[in-house]
Amino acid sequence: MLALHTETMAYNYNDMLTIWVKVTKKSKSYSAVAQHPIKRNKYARATHSIKEKAIEEAVRKVTMQK
């Protein structure tokens, strides 16, 4: 599938850590990939129809909060 739009942003987590998130807009949804702030080779993915929800879900997964 061809990605229509991709952006990289910094997500400030608990006013302490910066988590890099790459968001891709696909046909009807957003796909977010978050990079762990310390273990740089650890990533988490999430897909949602709302951009903010996709980002929050990816950050939650990478920080392992339930």
Q: Which two tokens stand for residue 34?
A: 């978050």
What's the pLDDT at 16? 85
66 has pLDDT over 80:
no
The whole model's pTM is what? 0.81
By the 8 A CB rule, do 19 and 44 touch? no
Domain assignment of residue 43, given as a range: 5-63
- pLDDT, one tens digit per residue, over 5-62 is 899 999 888 888 899 999 999 888 999 999 988 888 999 999 999 999 999 999 999 9
Task: State the total domains in the chain.
Answer: 1
